[in-house]
Structure 1
Amino acid sequence: MSTTTTSTTTKTTLANPNLHGHGRMRLDGTDKQFGDWRDDLARDGYAVVKGAIPRERAMKYADQMYSWLESFNLGYDRNDPSTVHKDKLPVINEKGMCLAYGLSHEDFVWGVRSEPGVVGAFEKVYDDEDLIVSFDAINFQFPNRTDLPPNKPWPHQDQDPTKHGFRCMQGLVNLLPNGPDDGGLIVCKGAHLLSEQFHHDNADEERIPAWTPEWFGFTDRGMKWLADHGCEWTKLTAEPGDLLVWDSRTPHYNLSPKRDQPRFAIYTCFMPVADATQEDLRRKKDAFDRRVGTTHWPNARHTGSNVAQRDGKPDPHNRDRPVNDPKLSERAFKLTGIPYIKDDSATIAQTTVVA
């Protein structure tokens, strides 16, 4: 495969926004049967899309993630578990999240985002091909870590409790074998359908402080309410290449691995471009140009930084660009949102892949 960079002038117009949303799947309880994983998603608030990426290709992505960790030359060696230590790795928090270093735009991350089976799952839910994607975090979780604070449960939903109904489907692509004791996503089955009732019944409770209104943390009282209403927590298992998806109203958090198997995952979330404003798209373009991350919301309401903090100071190993800048296909470039910006005079540098 060879690569080439081309400069193209793109006439940017939005599709008729009135066409978006009419075919969108309802996730508030519906009698419609799809005959696939969407039935699980509607009923339970989550689903596993098996084989969204072929296993062999998923394992290759995992290999690239290992190579990225080793590229810092801090002493980490994938073949030596004793080198799993914060001093030998880029900054990764106790929940496995890595948020800086231009990682959200490494070529292998964009490769995962661009996989037809991943994009296609979101196209099915939204009944829409004009999607944009988040520049979200990457997860590296290793077992038996004592060099980091314990990963305490932080059950939450990633949706403003004052905004009801289905608004966003979140997702992550699992890239290593992930069994019951290998860490990973734990979800509260069926709680998305009780979200509006929950927030009505608990409106007087003081909220856990959050940096964005699009996050709600469940207290002990909230957890008891869920249990009293028959909601059970389920640890999802997955094979390399499986896509895990969940309604943003579904309470969830992650667990650390207990045995010897690491957990590698890339968070992926898409939404119709019609749900983003022109201001959102320009902010998203700025994030892409600076190779910084966003939250799971693809409209880039919040953007991140490539300045990781190590021991309270900027990490001397910080990077402001990816090691391998992405070479985007035309389809992947649309996912950045840039071609949908209404600026006929804009000349956009686009990198394409030539097979």
Structure 2
Amino acid sequence: MSTTTTITETVQSNLNLHGFGRMRMDGTDRHFGDFRDELTRNGYAVVKGAIPRERALQYADRMYSWLENFKLGFDRNDPSTVHKDKLPVINEKGMCLHYGLAHEDFVWSVRSEPGVIGAFEKIYDDEDLIVSFDAVNFQFPSRTDIAPNKPWPHQDQDPEKHGFRCMQGLVNILPNGPEDGGLIVCKGAHLLSEQFHREMAGEERIPAWTNEWFGFTERGMKWLEDHGCEWEKVCAEPGDLILWDSRAPHYNVSPKNSQARFAIYTCFMPVADATQEDLQRKKDAFDRRVGTTHWPNAKHSGSNVAKRDGVDDLHNREVPVMEPVLSERAFKLTGIPYLKA
């Protein structure tokens, strides 16, 4: 592939992707007639109504209640109470990573929604899936009490490992229009990922805590622009599932108007792609009620110890407020039933 190859030319080539290429989703030789066509072509897609709107708004109510139940002074009806001193620790990207939140009952209920699981079953053509214990996003507009959320364009994939490897996702909980913050994706750039990393191999990398993260420098952003890649804000309604290929450059932005943004990150993969060691790590994370990254095979697990102003938050908790009650289907998503004795 020449250095002048653009997205349009790449879509016309046979990319021979693997992973969700089990279904030959290579952008050229098969049409599905559903969200998978857009996902293959653009690197992202919105699955409309994965959760019924009314039920999604009920999840929003539970998320607001979870914030209020810290009893730090946050009141969903009073915008002046949106302040770091009145909320659990939430970073400038909107991520809440601690407090057992990854295993709250409402979070597991979202992961267990048939429309959410079903989308990933279609992608992988497989019902034996495991799910990430990922973060929850709470973003409020007009915040001046925390650092600004600056653009952080990145891929969540090791640049030395090519081809499709992970499908990321989030369930959108509140109305999310053009000015309401949320996900920004570089349309079609996943198709040029291998070429990008080959041609930019000599560039110094932005430091990262894991190889499964690659940040785009100004020079990298110029390369994407020169190759016809455009950044798009993804809009969604309550209950919509947003999916994106981990090779797709992306980041998020904060709301600009009055509408908050709530989202629950959900990522599934076939259990066949996880080792027994992976599943043992996953069981440990579940037993300790800690989160993972978006990787469902628990490549990394987190902690429930949030830091507030450099010291352990006095309001830390090791277990959820509401322990999850898992159905048989949901329990399989933990990976535990697939462990061999």
Give the TM interval when normalised to the shorter protein.
over 0.9
C-alpha distance in structure 2 between counterparts of 1:252 and 1:23, whole Å: 22
Aligned with 2:87 (options 86, 89, 99)? 89
Q: Which residue of 2 aligns with 1:15?
A: none
Cα offsets for 1:70-120 (capped at 9, x unmatched):
010000000000000000000000000000000000000000000000000
Q: Which residue of 1 aligns with 2:279?
A: 281
C-alpha spacing 1:152/1:27, structure 2 compared with 1 (3 Å): farther
Where do 5+ consecutive residues of structure 1 fail to align?
1-19, 344-355
DSSP-derived class of the 1:254 partner: strand
Give the TM-score normalised by the residue count of structure 2: 0.94
C-alpha distance in structure 1 between counterparts of 2:24 and 2:253, whole Å: 29
Q: Which residue of 2 aligns with 1:63?
A: 61
Contact 1:26 1:42 in 2 (8 A): no
Q: Which residue of 2 aligns with 1:307?
A: 305
Aligned with 2:196 (options 195, 198, 202)? 198
Aligned with 2:270 (options 269, 272, 292)? 272
C-alpha distance in structure 2 between counterparts of 1:255 and 1:70, whole Å: 24
Are positions 1:218 and 2:216 aligned together?
A: yes
C-alpha spacing 1:134/1:22, structure 2 compared with 1 (3 Å): closer
DSSP-derived class of the 2:76 partner: coil
Q: Residue 26 of structure 1: CA displacement?
A: 3.8
- Percent same amino acid among aligned pairs? 82
Q: Residue 30 of structure 1: CA displacement?
A: 2.8
C-alpha distance in structure 1 between counterparts of 2:198 and 2:153, whole Å: 18
C-alpha distance in structure 2 between counterparts of 1:234 and 1:184, whole Å: 11
Letter in 2 for 1:229: H
Letter in 2 for 1:208: I
Q: Which residue of 2 aligns with 1:138?
A: 136
C-alpha distance in structure 2 between counterparts of 1:153 and 1:29, whole Å: 29
How many equivalent residue pairs? 324
DSSP-derived class of the 2:138 partner: strand
DSSP-derived class of the 1:173 partner: strand
Q: Which residue of 1 aligns with 2:125?
A: 127
C-alpha distance in structure 1 between counterparts of 2:185 and 2:132, whole Å: 21
The two structures, once aligned, show a CA RMSD in angstroms of: 1.1
Contact 1:189 1:233 in 2 (8 A): yes
Q: Which residue of 1 aligns with 2:290?
A: 292
C-alpha spacing 1:190/1:23, structure 2 compared with 1 (3 Å): closer
Q: Which residue of 1 aligns with 2:315?
A: 317
Q: Residue 23 of structure 1: CA displacement?
A: 7.3
Letter in 1 for 2:325: K
Q: Which residue of 1 aligns with 2:252?
A: 254
Contact 1:21 1:127 in 2 (8 A): no
Contact 1:100 1:307 in 2 (8 A): yes
Contact 1:23 1:127 in 2 (8 A): no
Contact 1:29 1:193 in 2 (8 A): no
The correspondence of residues 52-201 of structure 1 with structure 2, limited to 5 A, is 52-201=50-199
Contact 2:306 2:316 in 1 (8 A): yes
Letter in 2 for 1:309: K
Q: Which residue of 1 aligns with 2:43?
A: 45
Cα offsets for 1:216-240 (capped at 9, x unmatched):
0000000000000000000010000
C-alpha distance in structure 2 between counterparts of 1:243 and 1:271, whole Å: 16
Runs (4 or more) in structure 1 with deviation over 4 Å come to 20-23
Contact 1:26 1:166 in 2 (8 A): no
Cα offsets for 1:149-199 (capped at 9, x unmatched):
000000000011111111111000000000000000000000000000000
DSSP-derived class of the 1:299 partner: coil
Aligned with 1:208 (options 194, 206, 209)? 206
Q: Residue 27 of structure 1: CA displacement?
A: 4.4
Letter in 2 for 1:294: T
Relative contact order: is structure 1 or structure 2 higher (C-alpha 8 Å, sep ≥ 6)? 1
Q: Residue 24 of structure 1: CA displacement?
A: 2.3
Cα offsets for 1:274-331 (capped at 9, x unmatched):
1000000000000000000000000001000000000000000001000000000000
Q: Which residue of 1 aligns with 2:3?
A: none
Letter in 2 for 1:99: L
DSSP-derived class of the 2:244 partner: strand
C-alpha distance in structure 1 between counterparts of 2:292 and 2:23, whole Å: 25
DSSP-derived class of the 1:38 partner: helix
Where do 5+ consecutive residues of structure 2 fail to align?
1-17
C-alpha distance in structure 2 between counterparts of 1:315 and 1:192, whole Å: 39
Letter in 2 for 1:336: T
C-alpha spacing 1:195/1:99, structure 2 compared with 1 (3 Å): same
